[in-house]
Amino acid sequence: MNMSHLRYFAAVVEHGNVTRAAEVLYVSQPTVSAALRTLERELGQPLFDRAGRRLRVTSAGAEAYRRVVRILTEWDDAHAWMRTGETQTTLRLGVLDTLPHRWVTELVTLLRREHPRLVTTLRSATAPKLATWLANQRIHAALTSLETAPPGARVVRREPFLAMFHAEHRLARRQKITLRDLSREPFVERTHCEIMASGREKVQQAGVKLNVAARVHSDDLALALVEQGFGYTVAPLSLATDYVRSVPVDDFSIQRSVVLHLGEGAPPDVDRILEHTLDLLQPT
């Protein structure tokens, strides 16, 4: 057993299958599968019920995962301290994977500049996964969506969802449009969008069926397809680029609220540090 095996096991639990875990870890699927077999052999019992591509964690696997999380957390904290040889505080920060890259990089740059004794590690994921990591203390804090945060979490950003078009698209020059205007247009669906359920409800209420031309998990790919005229997408305002035109959708008045959610076990003063740093950020 080694630390890599433990990381592979935790990733499979968190992502639900070997394929996605291997992609996130930048290793091959056989490497992850071999690590799981080694762990199960050493522990003497199965960690997963295998049914097709999906792996369901056994009761022994769930208990092992809770303990492995603590081991990995302690190891990462120790490693961060040993790199510097100084007494420092480690902040494990999770961020919503639909936040604009420029905003996240500005945040971590400010943290490094304003708080040089704070060692920040960063993990990006969907809102449900961030909530799981907070509950398991894999991360100390998350910048996530309001839907998965507890009452009282601090709202740090509010922004509307807009339709985004190629600059020469026939709807790109409109001051506003409706969902019915979009019904025949090729739609690039962002499959990881945090308002997917409420968005679909709005579309159904309008009696509109969208013409889905692509389903992608990457915002960069979605916007690149829009920039090339492949179709339009619907996304938060902060994701717009200089190469697309954003138009309000009159009957799709959905906003997203990004909140700061602190978990148990967060280092002292981390809430103050994060709130101060967030206040320094330029609006997107």
Asked whether residue 114 is assigned to any structural domain, the reply reads: no
Confidence of residue 276 (pLDDT cuts 50, 70, 90): confident
Asked whether residue 164 is assigned to any structural domain, the reply reads: yes
Asked whether residue 179 is assigned to any structural domain, the reply reads: yes
Asked whether residue 126 is assigned to any structural domain, the reply reads: no
Per-residue pLDDT of 73-91, as tens digits, reads 777 767 666 665 555 678 8
DSSP string of 44-101, one letter each residue: TS-SEEEETTEEEE-HHHHHHHHHHHHHHHHHHHHHHHHHHTS--EEEEEEEETTS-H
Asked whether residue 186 is assigned to any structural domain, the reply reads: yes
Alpha helices in the chain (DSSP H): 3-15, 18-25, 29-43, 59-84, 101-114, 127-135, 179-182, 196-205, 219-227, 270-280
* Least confidently predicted of 89-93, 147-151, 202-206, 259-263: 147-151
Residue 284 has pLDDT above 60, yes or no: no
Per-residue pLDDT of 179-210, as tens digits, reads 999 999 999 999 988 888 888 899 999 999 99
Tell me what the pLDDT averaged over the chain comes to.
87
Q: What pLDDT does residue 225 have? A: 97
For residue 21, give the CATH number of its domain.
1.10.10.10
Asked whether residue 279 is assigned to any structural domain, the reply reads: no
Per-residue pLDDT of 8-60, as tens digits, reads 888 888 878 888 888 878 888 889 889 898 988 888 889 988 766 667 889 88
For residue 201, give the CATH number of its domain.
3.40.190.290
Domain boundary among 54, 84, 114: 84
Q: What pLDDT does residue 282 have? A: 58
Whether the model pTM is above 0.75: no
Domain boundary among 84, 102, 133: 84
Confidence of residue 132 (pLDDT cuts 50, 70, 90): confident
Asked whether residue 149 is assigned to any structural domain, the reply reads: no
Residue 236 belongs to domain spanning: 157-257
User: In this structure, are 80 and 167 located in the same domain?
Assistant: no
The number of folded domains in the chain is: 2
Asked whether residue 182 is assigned to any structural domain, the reply reads: yes
Confidence of residue 120 (pLDDT cuts 50, 70, 90): confident
